[in-house]
Amino acid sequence: MFAALFRIIKFSSQDFWRNFWLTTATVVVLVLTLVSINFLITLNFLTKTAVAQVEDKIDVSVYFKPGVAESEIGNIKSYLLSLSGVKDVIYVSPEEALRDFTKKHENDAVIKESLEEVGENPLGATLIVKAHDPADYPEILEVFDDAQYANIIQEKSFEDHEAIIKKIDSISEKAKSTGFGIAGLFAVVAVLIGFNTVRMTIYTHREEIGVMKLVGAANWFVRAPFLASGVFYGIFAVFFTILLTFPAIGFAEPYLAGFFGGAEFNLLGYFSQNFLQIFGWQFVGVVLLNIVTSSLAVGRYLKV
């Protein structure tokens, strides 16, 4: 059994080197297929990061009228925090609000002047509410529609950025379907080239195969080297894909990070942390693809 396994590996690895150009072509298209799949994974990661970032910017600001007691606002804050959809509530005191406001408008002479004219702080406190999920905001906003708050709330503002999220999604959907199309196309080319490689290998080995059958080699033994070569292709394809992917990420990362304003962006970390999962599945996929291809060619050209 061990001897048989060893011989199968020997036979198929010999072919691997003997048909160098065919092997190279097969491995190259497999690598292209995997690279486009990794491109899809990257795209998915970028979209998620972008959407998360935009979602993070969504909040509801509730402006209270000046003079509303801090304790009352504190009660509202605790109530809000008790709601399941609420992630965080930030209290901005009237003084902080004024500071922010003056700072924001420090170059605006008119506003500066009118503030000075008023003399006292015209601003009330603010609560900034953040939800776990953008879908929770309608519920949160409803709370403030209650009549009991009507005379203490000056204004509510809610910017939901929904349009931006939709736009990101639609761009990434388009990019994804293009990516899938490219990956699919490469996969088809990989099958065609793989099929032809196996056919050529069978052809160059027709004498050996004939002798094998003549002397009573088991059917699986005749077929096995062709299937084993699928594993070789898989190993090489994944190896070269890894070799290409990491430098490519390393190169692109600073640009992408710049684009996302440096916030929590770590594509390299994502690929490293999920290394086994990403490349393990790619290896399994490529090997399965090759085994299916080889089986087709063997079934067609190798009458055992």
Partner 1 sequence: MIEFRGIEKIYPPNTVALQGVNLKINAGEFVSIVGQSGTGKTTLIKLLTAEERPTRGKITIGDWDITKIRRSEIPTLRRQIGVIFQDFKLLPKKTIFENVAFALEVCGASVGRIKTIVPQVLRIVGLDEKADRYPKQVSGGEQQRVAIARALIHRPKILVADEPTGNLDSINTREIADLLLKINEFGTTVLLVSHNRELVNSLRRRVVTLEQGTVISDQEVGKYVL
Task: Give the whole-angstrom CA distance, residue 221 versus residue 3.
Answer: 12
Closest contact distance (angstroms) between CB of 1 and partner 1 is: 7
Closest contact distance (angstroms) between CB of 210 and partner 1 is: 7
Chosen residue from 75, 219, 266, 272 binding partner 1 by CB under 8 A: 219
Q: Which two tokens stand for residue 186?
A: 């490469």
Closest contact distance (angstroms) between CB of 24 and partner 1 is: 23
Core vs surface per residue 40-55: b (16+ CB within 10 A) or e: bbbbebbbebbbeebb
Core vs surface per residue 211-224: b (16+ CB within 10 A) or e: ebeeeeeeeeebbb
CB nearer partner 1, residue 6 or residue 275: 6
Question: Site for partner 1 (CB under 8 A): how many residues?
Answer: 19
Closest contact distance (angstroms) between CB of 233 and partner 1 is: 23
Chosen residue from 95, 173, 208, 264 binding partner 1 by CB under 8 A: 208
Chosen residue from 69, 81, 218, 252 binding partner 1 by CB under 8 A: 218
Task: Give the whole-angstrom CA distance, residue 236 versus residue 293.
Answer: 17
Closest contact distance (angstroms) between CB of 190 and partner 1 is: 30
- Nearest Cα neighbor of 268 from 242, 250, 289, 244 is 250
304 binds partner 1 (CB under 8 A): yes
17 binds partner 1 (CB under 8 A): no
CA 38 to chain centre: 9
- Kindly state the DSSP code that residue 159 receives in the 8-state scheme: E
CA 244 to chain centre: 18
Letters for 154-193 (x = contact with partner 1 by CB under 8 A, - = none) are ----------------------------------------
299 binds partner 1 (CB under 8 A): no
Task: Specify the residue for token string 């509410």.
Answer: 129
- Which residues are at the interface with partner 1 (CB under 8 A)? 1, 3-4, 7, 207-208, 210-219, 221-222, 304
